[in-house]
Amino acid sequence: MDSVYYVGLDVHKKSISYCVKRIDGAIVSEGQVAARRAELTAWAGQLPGPWAGALEATLFTGWIYDFLRPFAVSLEVAHPAMLKAIAASKKKNDRVDARKIADLLRCNLLPRCYMAPSDLRELRRVLRYRNLMVAEAVRMKNKTAGLLMEVGAEYNKEKLHQKGYFHELLDNIKNVPESVMKLLKLTRGATEMFEAAQHRLVAGLGRQPQLRERVERLQSISGVGEILSLSWALEIGEPERFHSVKDAVSYCGLSSAQNSSAGKEHRGPISKQRNKHIQTVLIEAAKVAPQWNPTLAAVQKRERERGNANRATLAVARKLVAYLLAVDRSGKPFVAERPAAKPHQPADSAPAVAAA
């Protein structure tokens, strides 16, 4: 690797600051290049030799990583929260940041983060857009109820968002300004549009051949549905990158922050360093999954008896992570196992318990 040049890239929306260094730390060149494909192609062609690069994870990193990867011997993406050398620096600008990224890469101290394959990231973008559609549909539903409450109109809360009931309500409602009637129709139309869009997106993801079998295996776990399976497959990416269940639980944002020093340990609230997309879906699933899974129901009951419903939800979510990771790693459907029978208990009377 002595003949390889080390390139640090500080990425922004319209420009990229770069620094090229040799193995001994000597600066070969540095400057700025426009964040456009034509300029990046010309820049990569004038580098003095084979190079390894690193850039910080930002909103714009994905396409730059995909575009520059074929030009480089290796290209790494740095975890922004772990770049303490930059965050704690007294002097911080684009040129200094590029130099420090190059130094971290050169000294093999770069805090690397996982970059999912490009095809997986494309599908993940679709799933996250679906989540946006669901959020907007919920906002429209809340606005519908809000408009009715503003004018004192009576309605059935459970049936309000049913299509037939809503149109019947509009036909029979009285003493409501015309402007509110128009807004109610607009809001209902927007709700139906967002819901139809999210259904189309989910159906399209379900037809993807690289996802179909994997999602079906994950759904073999009782209490795991299509959305949780899709979210796990696309947000987690390759399950082999997690060395243990604890690593996966931490990535999903289900573990508390830890501060331990001199034999004293302090546990804080749930850490903000997590994948918020998978965390949200897991928490929602953990509230309903015990209805279909006896093992999860037992976990929930045990924690609730200790007096904390939120901890019960987190415990169920962690158990779900263990199940999902085990199935994803094995490549086999989930199979419930029976525990060994006690001496005084007949084998055929032992209750079925799902195995992690």
Strand boundaries in the chain, DSSP class E: 5-11, 15-21, 27-34, 51-56, 74-78, 256-261, 264-270, 336-337, 353-354
What CA–CA distance (Å, rounded) separates 74 from 158? Answer: 56
Question: Do residues 99 and 181 make contact, with C-beta atoms less than 8 angstroms apart?
Answer: no
The residue assigned the tokens 């415990």 is: 315
Q: What angle do CA 308, 310, 312 make, to 5 degrees?
A: 75
Among the ranges given (3-12, 78-87, 143-152, 326-335), the one the predictor scored with the smallest mean pLDDT? 78-87
Q: Which residue has the higher pLDDT, 263 or 218?
A: 218
Domain positions in the chain are 5-106, 118-207, 210-337
Rounded to two decimals, what is the model's pTM?
A: 0.85
pLDDT recorded at residue 342: 54
| pLDDT at position 67 over 80 | yes
Q: Which of 297, 272, 273 is nearest to 286 (CA)?
A: 297
Q: What is the mean pLDDT of residues 329-353?
A: 61
Mean pLDDT of 274-278: 92
Euclidean distance between CA atoms 335 and 184, whole angstroms = 48
Task: Look at residue 344 in the predicted model and tell me its pLDDT.
Answer: 54
Give the mean pLDDT of 223-242.
95
Please state, in angstroms and rounded to a whole number, the distance separating the CA atoms of residues 98 and 309.
47
Average pLDDT of the residues in 337-352:
49
| pLDDT recorded at residue 354 | 41
Q: Tens of pLDDT along 289-305? A: 999 999 999 999 999 99
Contact in structure between 320 and 286 (CB atoms under 8 Å)? yes
Give residue for tokens 């901890």. Answer: 311
Q: What are phi and psi of 290, to 5 degrees?
A: -60, -20
User: Does the pLDDT of residue 283 top 70, yes or no?
Assistant: yes
pLDDT score at 338: 61
Radius of gyration of the chain (CA): 26
Residue that is written with structure tokens 């030009």 in the block? 71
- pLDDT the model gives residue 42: 96
Q: Please, which pLDDT band fits residue 273 given cuts at 50, 70 and 90?
A: confident
d(CA 74, CA 58) in angstroms, rounded, equals 19
Q: Is the pLDDT of residue 89 over 80?
A: no
Helix (H/G/I), strand (E/B), else coil: 183: helix
Say if residue 325's pLDDT is above 60.
Answer: yes
Amino acid, res. 245: V
Per-residue confidence band for 343, with pLDDT thresholds at 50, 70 and 90: low
Residue 347 confidence (pLDDT) = 41
CATH of domain 5-106: 3.30.420.40
